[in-house]
Amino acid sequence: MPSRALAPIRRSAWWAGPLLLLAALLSAGPVAGAGSDGDTPVARVVYHLDSADRAHFSNVLRYLKEHLAESERDAADVRIVLHGEGVRLLEAESMDTATAIRIDTLRLQGFRFLVSRRSMEVRGLERGDLHDVIREEVVGSGITELYRLQRQGFTYIKP
């Protein structure tokens, strides 16, 4: 008898599987690796910086330039998340002209530098203390932003 009681439920819910699959596909957003036109591959990468080591930052800027050179044939969406001591890397008063130019050049080429508001507050920094950081580049938490971007299909790099 128990199997007869379940039979009507199985027959009446034949549509649930395909409907759930369709809902999952529609809520997933753009497919990772597809551009806005669906044909152009997009490299989605997030770099994680949490150290104020200037020599290391100089190397990371070089890596970003190389990344751009390698991905020019493909579209690229590159974000650099700075949190912890890493927010100090964008302090305007301690930045030399060459570094400022390198950062500005990367920004003009579409790279986005995202700065943790919590890390700024802990260090007593305001947005105006940082080199050309606009409101949209300040995120609540660097770690949360890293998590969010990885969930969106960004490849994580910790140089």
- What is the SS3 assignment for 130? strand
The encoded tokens of residue 72 equal 């020019």
- Give the neighbor-by-neighbor strand order of the sheet with 138-139: 138-139, 112-116, 75-82, 42-49, 155-157
* pLDDT score for 88: 95
Tell whether 14 is covered by a domain.
no
Tell whether 110 is covered by a domain.
yes
Count of domains observed in the chain: 1
Range of the domain at 138: 31-157
Tell whether 114 is covered by a domain.
yes
In CATH, what number is assigned to the domain containing residue 119? 3.40.1260.10
Task: Find out whether 116 and 146 touch, Cβ atoms under 8 Å.
Answer: no
* pLDDT score for 73: 56
Torsion of CA 122, 127, 130, 135, to 10 degrees: 130
Separation of alpha carbons 99 and 111, rounded Å: 15
- Mean pLDDT, each 10-residue run in order, the chain (159 residues): 46 43 41 47 88 93 84 78 96 93 92 97 96 96 97 95
